[in-house]
Amino acid sequence: MNGSLAASPAVILLVSLLAGTVNAQALYDGVVGPLAVTSDGAASLAVPDQDREMSLRIVYPAQGGPYPVVVFSHGTFSSGDKYDLVVEFWAARGYVIILPNHLDANYGIIPTKTEDMIRVIRTRISDMSLVLDGLDEIEGQNPGLKGKLNRDQIIAAGHSIGTQVVLVNTGQRMRNPTNDFVTESSEDRFMAAVMLSDPGKMALMPDDTWKGGSAPTLLSTGPDDYGLMGDGRRVAEYQNEILTIPDEPTGDKYLLLIERGDHYFGGLIHREVDKEPDHDGLAAFNAASLAFMDAYTRDEASAWAFLEPGVVSAATDGRAVLTVE
């Protein structure tokens, strides 16, 4: 439920942005911090029935707490070390980010057939629940985390193939039409979802895949991203059927479209690319994602104000547009 806009800072921000009197300098910067950040937290969890240890990176505020927890699923062949400019921004503003290194991290496994890819997806989905099951163990391996984990406020976040993981872990169900197999999860502990790219990158995903989760969702994408909203989509023989896309708008699906936005913010996340680093685009995502998380975890009035129609566009001189469905 939206917080009240009665607080004067929120009202001033909203009015000034809509009036065009504040430019990109007015990007939302949160109500906590910036705080000193511990960026080298680490842990390892045994994966049941898989004979492997899953390593994790933990990025968190060095003082205070408890804080909401974000579990971040990296892109294909990437790792928890490739998203510093996002996760350290969040941590400095009062979030604990746990980044599991999935089975395919750092090219640990390279799928060569459909069965391999199914295995990677299934383990990625279960990895997210394993992190939540292991919060006490993760805290025990990092004494600095003591008192910092708010176990009642947990967000799923991801990039590239990690967006599919996020969606399934927030209630999306999909059916493979070739064998009627349904991909799903019984996980219900994630209160919201944040996605750094369009899940339509994957050729097997149909229109509006990103709306298929049951939790409030923020998707960031752009015309130079892959997927249905961008370019680079591969041809596939079939598409999965998404079983959970609502027929009517739910009012909690936020779409951030960034002009010239690409899959890597010009190489600032995931991997280096031969493009100009897109610091402004990433700043727009960081501000919008922080406002989204602050709104749903802290019910912060100024965060809700930043999510109002037209505010993000005004704050970014029209480059980024936020819509709600």
| pLDDT tens string 225-242 | 876 666 656 677 788 899
CA dihedral 163, 166, 167, 169 (to 10 degrees): 160
pLDDT at 105 over 70: no
Q: Report phi then psi at 46, rounded to 5.
A: -75, 130
Q: Please tell me the predicted confidence (pLDDT) of residue 111.
A: 59
Distance CA 45, CA 36 (A): 27
Q: List the domain boundaries for the chain.
A: 31-294
**Within a 10 A sphere around the Cβ of 70, how many other Cβ atoms?**
26
Q: In what order do the strands lie in the sheet with 37-47?
A: 37-47, 52-61, 96-100, 67-73, 149-158, 192-195, 217-221, 253-258, 320-324
Q: Please tell me the predicted confidence (pLDDT) of residue 176.
A: 86
Contact between 102 and 130 (Cβ < 8 Å): no
Contact between 41 and 60 (Cβ < 8 Å): yes
Q: Please tell me the predicted confidence (pLDDT) of residue 90.
A: 98
How do residues 256-293 score in pLDDT, each as one tens digit? 999 999 999 999 998 888 889 999 999 999 999 999 99
* CA nearest neighbour of 286 among 90, 23, 19, 66: 90
Contact between 223 and 259 (Cβ < 8 Å): yes
How do residues 113-167 score in pLDDT, each as one tens digit? 566 566 767 888 999 999 999 999 999 999 999 999 999 999 999 998 899 999 9
Distance CA 25, CA 13 (A): 11
Paired strand residues for 304:
none
Axis crossing angle, helix 161-169 with helix 114-133, rounded to the nearest 10: 50
Q: Which residues contact 323 (CB under 8 A, 6 or more apart)?
A: 254, 255, 257, 309
For residue 115, the one-letter residue type is: E
How do residues 18-45 score in pLDDT, each as one tens digit? 444 334 458 999 999 999 999 999 999 9
Instruction: Report domain 31-294's class.
Output: alpha beta
pLDDT at 104 over 90: no
How do residues 181-229 score in pLDDT, each as one tens digit? 899 999 999 999 999 998 866 667 887 889 999 999 999 999 988 766 6
Q: Please tell me the predicted confidence (pLDDT) of residue 19.
A: 44
